[in-house]
Structure formats: structure tokens, C-alpha cells
Chains A and B, each alone.
Chain A
């Protein structure tokens, strides 16, 4: 008898848990609403753009302005779109002007609406300034409506990387073949002699039948066996630590690579240990990369081979200043 009572109680509980509560349509807020998303991925690097999409809407009334306030003023080129985009059937983004071109004053960028609209999404492009290197950036978006209401959303803080980068440096064996990581520059022999103290690597290409030499980045101070036929300019004698990598296709350095979904960030430079690495790297090819540390201990870098030819190469570099 007792068991029957327990069973009935259990059944009742089960039935109660399955009961559907009546669905009620959500009531939209009549107040001004807003939302923001960050559209860019990867590390935030000085000179690069952080893109946001900021949306605002109000049920009754119209929007009067959108503004973005950064805690550190964006570099030249920072702006907010005055067009609201939709995606056409072709897949292309089509912009519909809803306001006047943005006005940027110091840390503030504003778009004032010129059409009667109660909803819009505008994109904001923040160009990371040198001043923000190694710091954090916070963006406060604010929407205002014609009834005086305003609403804000804070995005961030976003850490700005200490590293910087230089893309598509052209190397030519016998000419522009002297690389300075400190100067992020490529020199010919004449210029290398003038900057002898800052030349870290020598690019050369040898198509040997006896061994796989091919493209190489060799320290000036390396064993001359790795610098066949090279006469170094006077004073070029630094020794740079080098560690070979392959298929490490950083998305910033190689944005068109099929598998380039990897980002090298400050933490990678902070953690990689090159103390036991040699001062040369030979037999390099397209998609190869070399981690480097300069002789004076000032910089670590990652140099990626975007493309190679016979005696030529296009490389891109990320560089991190050590403390």
C-alpha cells in the first residue's frame, strides 16, 4: 500500500513537470537600445584597425547620433561609417547613407543622423595609435535619440600588442640582402656599410647540386661556410640566433594563405627560447619562417617567407622589443 502511494506521487510529479506554461509574446522595450560587436580577430597591433559594428534602435522616435569615445585617441584614419549596411542577394554589402560623415575630435568620433530612422548599424574603425602600444584601449559607444534619451555600451579593454610588423620586404641575392631587425629595413651593400651596427641577417640564395642550400638567412658572424661567395660590407658582423619553422602561417603576415588562421602574439615572443639556437638558417622556402633574436638582445622577430623566386624572396616580419 505504501509503495502504491509513492508510485502515485512520483507519477504526479512527472505529470506536473511536463505541463506547458503558456507562452507570452515578449514585449519590446520602448526605450533606446544598443549593442556592439568587435569584428576583427587576432592581436591588436599599432597601425592596424580594430573594427566594430554598433547598432542602436528605438521603438518610437528617431536616432539623432552615434558616437564612439576611446580612452586613447585613435590614429589618423579613425572614423565611423555614416552608412548602414545590408547584405544584398549577391552577398555584397550595400551601404545606405543615414547621416553625415563622421567627425573626429580627439578621442571622440560622432555621426549625426540626417535621415529619419529608428534603427541603424554603423561600423567604427579605430586605427591603433603608437601611444597605445602595450596599453589597453576601451571604446564607449553611445546612441542618442530625438527625445533626449541616450544609451551606452563599453567595449574592451583590449590589450594593444607591444610587437609591430612590416609586410612584404623584398630581398634580392647580391643586392637588397642585408636585413636589420632593429631598423625593420633591407639594405644593399652600400647602405649596409652605413648601418653596419644594425645589420642582423644576410639573405642569400644558392642552388647547389651537392646539398640543399636554397634560400637562407644567415648571421654575418656565422661560419663562412654558410655564406658562400658573400663578401660582407665593412663592420657587418653581428650574430643573430635563429630557429627554423615551417607552415607557421601567421594571418597578419600571410593574410591570403589558405590555412593562415594562426596569430603570433606578444606571448609567443615572450616564451620562445632561442638561447640554444644557431646563427644561421638555410634551405628555406615559401611558407618557411625563422624566429630570431638580435645579438644585442633588444629584439625578437619572426620572419615569414611569403614567396620565393630564383634569388629573390618576399618576406614579412613581426618584431617584439624585449625589455
Chain B
């Protein structure tokens, strides 16, 4: 009886230890680090303060040159825009987009770095805006 009890306790201890071990690493943001090596932007959106798109046509994304070119409507408030990126699976963006973003310095386009799922590949994309003429 005593022997069975000891075996049971030992089994529970081993099982619980094993289930708590980390086989799935996460990064500093708590995101899963996977084996995926894709590293690209698949689509780009730009919203105004009214959460309505300010784009004129689709953004042109060049994954080789690592550029996003987007024409925005005449009269767009370039200091207060919400950019939205769609990335390849498991990628993340740096710096993070936390709110309204200032694009008003058209001579110095904003840049974001896409980081692959395995966190080994980094590609910096330059987002260039053009304002539609009146």
C-alpha cells in the first residue's frame, strides 16, 4: 500500500514537471517564436482620425525593394494617421504601432522593420506617402 502511494506521488511529480517545461519559446513581447522564415508586408492600410481609409487606390508594396508607396487623399491630416500592416505569418513589426502616427515629414519617410517568425530575419520597409493633388 505504502509502495503504491509512493509510486503515484512520484508519477504526479514527474508528469507535472514535464508539462511545465517550455518547448515553445516566446520572445520579449510574449509572442511565439516559430520556425517560419517568411518576412514581408502583404498589405497596408492608412486610416484617418475618423477611422476611414485615406488611401487613393491600393498601396504599392515592393517586397524586394522593401517599400510601401501610398497615395492619400487631398486634405489628409498627415500628422494624425493610423497605419495598419498585414504581415507574413508569425512576423512582428518594430517599432510597434501604438496609436496615431505622424507622416507629415514627407521628405523623411517613416520606416518599420518586419521580423520573421523565427526572429532571425529583419527587413526594414520604407513607407512613402504622396498627397493627391486638389
Contacts and interface: CB of A to CB of B under 8 A. Distances in A.
Given A276-B80, A278-B77, A211 B132 contact: yes
Interface in A273-323: 276-278, 280, 282-283, 288
A244 B50 contact: yes
A245 B79 contact: no
Counting contact residues on chain B (CB < 8 A from A), the size range is 10 to 19
Given A277-B80, A278-B79, A246 B134 contact: no
B83 interface: no
Interface string A188-216: 00000000000000000000101111001
Given A276-B80, A278-B77, A210 B133 contact: yes
Interface in B44-60: 48-52
A243 interface: yes
Counting contact residues on chain A (CB < 8 A from B), the size range is 20 to 34
Given A244-B49, A288-B50, A283 B77 contact: no
A276 B75 contact: no
B73 interface: yes
Contacts of A244: 48-50, 77
B73 A211 contact: yes
Nearest to A206: B134
Interface string A206-242: 0010111100100000000110100000000000000
Interface of A: 208, 210-213, 216, 225-226, 228, 243-246, 276-278, 280, 282-283, 288
13 contacts: A210-B132, A210-B133, A211-B134, A213-B74, A225-B134, A244-B77, A246-B50, A277-B49, A277-B77, A277-B80, A278-B77, A280-B75, A282-B74
Interface of B: 48-52, 73-75, 77, 79-80, 132-134
